[in-house]
Structure 1
Amino acid sequence: MAVLGIKAPKQDDWARLRGLQFAKLANRNNILTRMIAHAIAALVVGWVYWNLVSPVLLGVWLFCLVGAISFIGHCDRKLAGAENTRLTQEEFYRRTTAVTVVSLVWCVPTSIFALYGTLADLLTLWTAISALIVGLVLIVASAPLGTLIFTSLTGISAAATCLFLGEYPAAAMIVFFILVVTTGTIESARTYMTARIAEAGMAEKSEVVSLLLREFEENQADWLWQVDTKKRIRSVSPRFAFALGKPLEEIEGNSFLQLLAGDSWESGQFSPSLHELAEKLKNRENFSNLMIQVTINGRSCWWELSGTPIIDERDVYVGFRGVGSDVTEQRESSEKIAYLARYDTLTGLPNRLMLNEALRDAMLYAKQWRTRCAFLMLDLDRFKAVNDSLGHQVGDKMLAKVSERLKELMGENAICGRLGGDEFGIVIRDASAKGSVDALARRIIESLSQPYDIDGNTLYVGASVGSAVGPRDGKTVEELLRNSDLALYRAKDEGGSEHCQYEPTLHVHAEERRKLEASLRHALERDEMSLNFQPVVDANDETVVSFEALVRWNSEEHGFVGPDKFIPLAEDTRLIIPIGTWVMEQACIEACNWPSHVRVAVNVSGEQLIEPDFASTVIGALSKSGLEANRLEIEVTESIFLRDANVARAALEQVIALGCTVALDDFGTGYSSLGYLRKLSFSTIKVDRSFVQGAVQGSAESLAIINAVVAMAESLEMSTTAEGVENAEEAEFIRKLGCKKIQGYYFGRPMPAHDARQIFVREGLRRA
């Protein structure tokens, strides 16, 4: 079946073998010979049955025969070059179909024309077809399936006709002929295919050997070498001389080791690898792929040598013979890869992998000598603002300068590296001295807080440091890294530019934070969130003009969780996005229950503003509730502009274009208030409660700030809201300062939606 092409065993590339098998069919002389044979056989048919069969029927048959022969010739011509490719199933099936069509055309004379003539006419016809079959066996032995199809169909047709005419001996002879031809065809094809496979294999092997020989001859980095019993060069190879950079006459008879050592031979300070080579030669040991550092014309190179001792016919040692290659480039590449795997490319400091190894060694040292080691993890403060405002190129230069300052602070007892981003790590091998860790951390914070001059910009960043001491704070590398990270997180929480040492209580905070985060992820689906509303009143008549929507969380697992606790967590985990969307939708729905002149203010986080679909979120909340856009006020703080000022500004401009208003909360506590007041059309400036309380208590600075804000707001046609008013005296004081609106416990604490609605009921009764 495999020889015929019906099956393809898995152990060989039979698609390639099929190409070898069918390639001969595309030979032009082969195709022409077969066409001539068919033409001669067709003339015999015409000569025998010209007077017996209708000329029209003969003409139709001849026309079909010409078409079938043309079709099979076209198929065979497409097989040109098949020996260099793989025969596809489509080509195989097309050729088989063409042979079948030709065979069926030739069945017409043996099954139809023969009925009009005598047995002698049929035998004459079968003789012509038999000659055609034998010719096919000889000419297309490489593709036996076609021959078998033609033989079987025409033979069976002729035998069936003989049986119909009662000529049983003639039918038996035809069947016998079919069997003989079938056997001979398969064996001939098997022999042909075996020869072609062997021929192709030999050609491939010859090509591989030629390629290897040519590669060896053309590659000047490979050479042969030979030394005698005294390790002197003998039978110098020209390429070996080229590799040494010396003429042949200067090399012959010289010491092999001396040539490899170069200028360092006199001093004896050559590489240990040459010592190893000398030992191999001395002990007459075989060696393979031995890496040797050699000096060629003052340049250090790496060679890879293999050698074996030479024993003559009398079993006497006469020297060494071997091959060598210059692998300097490969060695340098591998060293570079090893460097990149252990060092940070930007700063040149050890990376996380090497720091882990150094910490592991320090912990082993501490365990062996009963001392202490330490790991400091530090993170740059305000680095993101530099990166976002001036670009990553300036940020990379700053990281390089930070690494230089860190290197200057490291002694022999410490190693610093970059963990990633703006995070660095320091391993202290021996931290037994009391206060040594804190002293180094303070020096780091002080050094990194100094100004940086980069591309004409004077920049300031600080550093927060967390430390853990081993084995007290952790007995494994992973524990020390985790605990120092917890300490760093604590230092960042305390405002930055601080050093915090690890304490076991930090685990409690971290675990509490983890559990809070897990619960917060399901707070909305569990319907644990609710809204409170705090009124904002007109400073003159003390009527409610708006409510600020404040989200509250009453967890099933943790009870009531304060906003100061879960809001920062939501921002860190980006859960503030779905929570903020829910708050806006619910606030707008509740505002529809208030009088038409009362607005609702919704606080928006910077994380929400940088979302591409923030404006769509606002539109969705308004359309879902049916609230007019001018009754929704978006409250933001100045900190949102530190993340991505352009994106935040674009988002707020889209909201303003919808008809909503924007209020700037906690004014005066940020960094660039005046700049953003000029760029964006804020409707309201909210004065932070710290200034309000300061002014009430007589602080001249706070009073001056409030007066300036009020004056500036009036000139920019903005309203002002004073926060944190807690009694009538404070309200009167703020009213005299010119603030338009007041918010504080004096006029109402944050309350549920039902209580907020009762305010309007009471106001209506009071007016009545």
Structure 2
Amino acid sequence: MPLLALLGLRDPEGGDWNRLRALQFSQINQTIGLRIVVHACCALIAIWVYAGKAPVALLGAFVAALAAGLFYALRADRVLTIGDRVRITRQEINRKGLSTALVACAWAIPPLAFGFYGGDAERTAIALLIAILLLGSTLALGVAPLVTVVFGAITGIACIVAFLVFGQFGMALATLTLMVVVTIGVSQVARIHLTACLAEAGNAEKSEVVSLLLREFEENQTDWLWQIDTNRLVRSASPRFAFALGRSVEEVEGRPFLELISGEAWETGQFPSSLHDLAERLKRRESFSNLLVKVSIGREHRWWELSGTPMLDDNGAYLGIRGVGSDVTEQRESSEKIAYLARYDTLTGLPNRLMLTEALGDALRYAEQWRTRCAFLMIDLDRFKAVNDSLGHQVGDKLLAQVSARLKAVLGEDELCGRLGGDEFAIVIRDASDRNCIQRVAKSVIARLSQPYEVDHHTLYVGASVGSALGPRDGQTVEELMRNADLALYRAKDDGGGEHRHYEPALHANAEERRQLEFALRRALENRELELNYQPVVNATTEEVVSFEALVRWNSAQHGSVSPGKFVPIAEDTRLIVPIGTWVMEQACREATRWPEHVRVAVNVSPEQLFEPDFAATVVNALSASGLEARRLELEVTESIFLRDASVARSSLEQCMALGCTVALDDFGTGYSSLGYLRKLRFSTIKVDRSFVQGAAQDSKESLAIIRAVVAMADSLEMTTTAEGVESVEEADLIRRLGCTKIQGYYFGRPMRAEEALQLFRRRHSDMPSRISARPAA
């Protein structure tokens, strides 16, 4: 350690040196009185030696200077030792060095000033007195070397100068030697003491940490100390341990530890497995940590976390076990609750997706091990969204709770049912070796879930669709099996719902095709792959074109010509129908401005478009951008718009009708309750589905009766009727006789490009002046 660091003139980096300096100077106060007495005695001897020789004024000046120096040194020492000083600052150390220098300067007066009034004997006596003071400082203040070094340096130099002036060279050399020896000695003493101070500071810090930990442990009300002897009897029971047992310390002391925590099991011998584990560890006299034990305190079951360590004497003999414990009942219950929430659905109480996934993984491993089969069934509720939208989520949640109760009732022990999310449920059949069991379970589920529900005074009807996959045939991993069951469910929904479908490899091919089509459809607009065709609608009497229906076609660069029956459902599912529908309306309106003013354009509108908040604004933008009159735009909708939120669809259409647009109801008669929809909205046209037209052409009494009823109803409501799918002259004549106002079909024209549609009007007066036939254009 450098000398300056020992003297306290510089502090090395790292460490709390102010605190270490306080330990260095802590002994100064103990020697204050002794040091003053020694200085006084030495001063009296110096005055005695030079009495009658040196002037009295000089002797008095020496005494005054020494008194002043000692007084200042005394004050500096008391500042350093007031109270229990933990740290000493740099300024305080410098003040102590200055006070020592003042005392040393006072003792420099005798050798330098008194030497002129005496001989060699007197000067040697003064040097001896200073040596005595220096050695005394080394012994008394060696732990604070700054005092000794400053005092020795000033007084030593004064003596050497005096001896050299008066020719006492031997004494000068002896004084210099003494100064070197004292400096080395005091440095060694200071180094040893400072090292001890460092160790003491470390021990103090460790002691402070231990005290803090013990205090924190004592203040923690959930932990306690316990101790047992060689017979496993409780010894030195702490008050908190006794409190945890619900007893007093006297009742606990000397009792068997296991008896105190086992309750009634001590008599019956029916111990929990965790207590058995604890007993074995105590019997084997081994250490254990954080052992979770189920204990009985009175009639209440609690969970304790115990740690213990064997106690040994100096000879290694076993004395017992000492440890700590804490009550972790609340933490245990919280952990169990978290584990439950992680694997069970909070609404229905059924296993959730995580637990179903784990169960399906176990079933697949079981099937592979024993060469059996397992099954996974996915269930989706039909028409549940309509319940949620019309009656609210609270009713929907109560309905889901009843659905889960019914699912539990129809399942056996080998079948696990859970909720995947929303209105989707799933069933895991661990052993599906009997292939009829899948069909049996699926039919039971569909039949049971299709029965009416009573929720908040509402009678509700929802069905169920089921898709199943057999493992490991239809998938060797959980992900594959779930995906394939989902594909089968999708097919069941496409088939109308209320059905069960098994997975088939073709479904995967269809799903892959659908995925590729969806990817390509997302870029169809920007790649200009979409175009519009127009199919004419003619007056049933004059066969004059009165409107065109705009039909979107997709010529994909990757997939070629894609049928609307394929890409329109994809567009609706992915909501791509909204930008596509906006483009169709803008293009159709722009093209219609090239036709005669009495010819309208009909644009099909998807329910997804109607539920957009700015649908009316989209219509306004299309009309204003093209300059088309609103009366020439007809919006065609189907009954499906009323299956979600009828009020939203009705509001959007009424805004468009207020602009002057007309609304046609397409595919009439193929929905759920068509007559009811006619009361909700004022349609201008009812379009009779082609299935009824074809049935009437085949003399179907039902189809003929339906068309007559629709025509009569439309006439009474001042609506026009359009018959779709007319493909022959016989069908056209039949439709006229039935009274339909307009006709649409291949007989009058297939869907054509915009330029072909425009040519119909250019040929108006050439071939057939009274009828514009589209057949040549077909």
Unaligned runs of 5+ in 2: 1-12, 16-201, 771-778
- Match of 1:266, SS state, is helix
Which residue in 2 is equivalent to 1:732? 733
**1:326 and 2:342 aligned:** no
Which residue in 1 is equivalent to 2:528? 527
Once the 2 structures are TM-superposed, how far is the Cα of residue 605 of structure 1 from its aligned partner? Answer: 0.5
Report the residue type matching 1:372 in the other structure: R
Which residue in 2 is equivalent to 1:561? 562
Once the 2 structures are TM-superposed, how far is the Cα of residue 209 of structure 1 from its aligned partner? Answer: 7.8
Alignment of 1:33-44 (within 5 A): none
The 10-residue stretch of structure 1 (206-215 or 701-710) with the greater mean CA deviation from structure 2: 206-215
Alpha-carbon separation, structure 1, partners of 2:504 and 2:14: 66
- Match of 2:644, SS state, is helix
Report the residue type matching 1:666 in the other structure: D
Once the 2 structures are TM-superposed, how far is the Cα of residue 740 of structure 1 from its aligned partner? Answer: 2.1
Listed one character per residue, the Cα deviations across residues 209-240 of structure 1 (whole Å, up to 9, x for unaligned) are 88766654444322221222111222222222
Q: Name the % identity.
A: 73
Which residue in 1 is equivalent to 2:311? 310
Which residue in 1 is equivalent to 2:689? 688
The 10-residue stretch of structure 1 (668-677 or 316-325) with the greater mean CA deviation from structure 2: 668-677
- Distance 1:269-1:739 versus aligned 2 partners, 3 A rule: same
Unaligned runs of 5+ in 1: 1-9, 13-200
Which residue in 1 is equivalent to 2:399? 398
Which residue in 2 is equivalent to 1:260? 261
Listed one character per residue, the Cα deviations across residues 41-71 of structure 1 (whole Å, up to 9, x for unaligned) are xxxxxxxxxxxxxxxxxxxxxxxxxxxxxxx
Once the 2 structures are TM-superposed, how far is the Cα of residue 564 of structure 1 from its aligned partner? Answer: 1.0
- Match of 1:746, SS state, is coil
Which residue in 2 is equivalent to 1:570? 571
Alpha-carbon separation, structure 1, partners of 2:505 and 2:675: 45
Which residue in 2 is equivalent to 1:164? none
- Distance 1:588-1:241 versus aligned 2 partners, 3 A rule: same
- Distance 1:764-1:264 versus aligned 2 partners, 3 A rule: farther
Alignment of 1:209-224 (within 5 A): 215-224=216-225
Report the residue type matching 1:633 in the other structure: E
Q: What is the count of residue pairs matched by the alignment?
A: 572
Alignment of 1:369-408 (within 5 A): 369-408=370-409
Once the 2 structures are TM-superposed, how far is the Cα of residue 293 of structure 1 from its aligned partner? Answer: 0.7
Alignment of 1:493-508 (within 5 A): 493-508=494-509
Which residue in 2 is equivalent to 1:637? 638
Alpha-carbon separation, structure 2, partners of 1:554 and 1:466: 33
Once the 2 structures are TM-superposed, how far is the Cα of residue 595 of structure 1 from its aligned partner? Answer: 0.4
Which residue in 2 is equivalent to 1:227? 228
Alignment of 1:100-111 (within 5 A): none
Alignment of 1:564-603 (within 5 A): 564-603=565-604
Alpha-carbon separation, structure 1, partners of 2:14 and 2:399: 62
Which residue in 2 is equivalent to 1:619? 620
Report the residue type matching 1:759 in the other structure: L
Which residue in 1 is equivalent to 2:675? 674
- Match of 1:374, SS state, is strand
- Distance 1:217-1:501 versus aligned 2 partners, 3 A rule: same
Listed one character per residue, the Cα deviations across residues 9-59 of structure 1 (whole Å, up to 9, x for unaligned) are x999xxxxxxxxxxxxxxxxxxxxxxxxxxxxxxxxxxxxxxxxxxxxxxx
Once the 2 structures are TM-superposed, how far is the Cα of residue 352 of structure 1 from its aligned partner? Answer: 1.2
Listed one character per residue, the Cα deviations across residues 242-272 of structure 1 (whole Å, up to 9, x for unaligned) are 2112233332222111111111222222211
Which residue in 2 is equivalent to 1:743? 744
CA RMSD of aligned residues (A): 2.6
Which has the larger Rg?
Answer: 2
Once the 2 structures are TM-superposed, how far is the Cα of residue 490 of structure 1 from its aligned partner? Answer: 1.6
Which residue in 1 is equivalent to 2:128? none
Alpha-carbon separation, structure 2, partners of 1:670 and 1:246: 76
Once the 2 structures are TM-superposed, how far is the Cα of residue 482 of structure 1 from its aligned partner? Answer: 1.5
Report the residue type matching 2:273 in the other structure: P
Once the 2 structures are TM-superposed, how far is the Cα of residue 729 of structure 1 from its aligned partner? Answer: 3.4
Report the residue type matching 1:266 in the other structure: E
Which residue in 2 is equivalent to 1:427? 428
Which residue in 2 is equivalent to 1:515? 516
Which residue in 2 is equivalent to 1:238? 239
Report the residue type matching 2:244 in the other structure: A
Once the 2 structures are TM-superposed, how far is the Cα of residue 340 of structure 1 from its aligned partner? Answer: 0.9
Listed one character per residue, the Cα deviations across residues 428-467 of structure 1 (whole Å, up to 9, x for unaligned) are 1111123222222222222222222211222122222111
- Match of 1:747, SS state, is coil
Alpha-carbon separation, structure 2, partners of 1:637 and 1:203: 87
- Match of 2:325, SS state, is strand
Alpha-carbon separation, structure 1, partners of 2:500 and 2:332: 44
**TM-score calculated relative to the size of structure 1:** 0.71
Which residue in 1 is equivalent to 2:462? 461
- Match of 1:682, SS state, is coil
Alignment of 1:442-461 (within 5 A): 442-461=443-462
- Match of 2:394, SS state, is helix
- Distance 1:209-1:312 versus aligned 2 partners, 3 A rule: closer
Alignment of 1:16-165 (within 5 A): none
Once the 2 structures are TM-superposed, how far is the Cα of residue 580 of structure 1 from its aligned partner? Answer: 1.0
Listed one character per residue, the Cα deviations across residues 538-576 of structure 1 (whole Å, up to 9, x for unaligned) are 223221111111111122222221111111111112111
**1:697 and 2:698 aligned:** yes
Once the 2 structures are TM-superposed, how far is the Cα of residue 365 of structure 1 from its aligned partner? Answer: 1.1
Once the 2 structures are TM-superposed, how far is the Cα of residue 207 of structure 1 from its aligned partner? Answer: 10
Alpha-carbon separation, structure 2, partners of 1:244 and 1:400: 43
Once the 2 structures are TM-superposed, how far is the Cα of residue 313 of structure 1 from its aligned partner? Answer: 4.2
Alpha-carbon separation, structure 2, partners of 1:428 and 1:293: 35
Which residue in 2 is equivalent to 1:343? 344
- Match of 1:303, SS state, is strand
- Match of 1:595, SS state, is coil
**1:663 and 2:667 aligned:** no
Alpha-carbon separation, structure 1, partners of 2:738 and 2:341: 64
The 10-residue stretch of structure 1 (713-722 or 447-456) with the greater mean CA deviation from structure 2: 713-722
Report the residue type matching 1:529 in the other structure: L
Alpha-carbon separation, structure 2, partners of 1:236 and 1:357: 47
Alpha-carbon separation, structure 2, partners of 1:235 and 1:519: 80
Alpha-carbon separation, structure 1, partners of 2:244 and 2:701: 86
Alpha-carbon separation, structure 1, partners of 2:485 and 2:661: 46
Report the residue type matching 2:421 in the other structure: G
Alpha-carbon separation, structure 2, partners of 1:291 and 1:252: 23
- Distance 1:750-1:238 versus aligned 2 partners, 3 A rule: same
Alpha-carbon separation, structure 1, partners of 2:710 and 2:468: 43
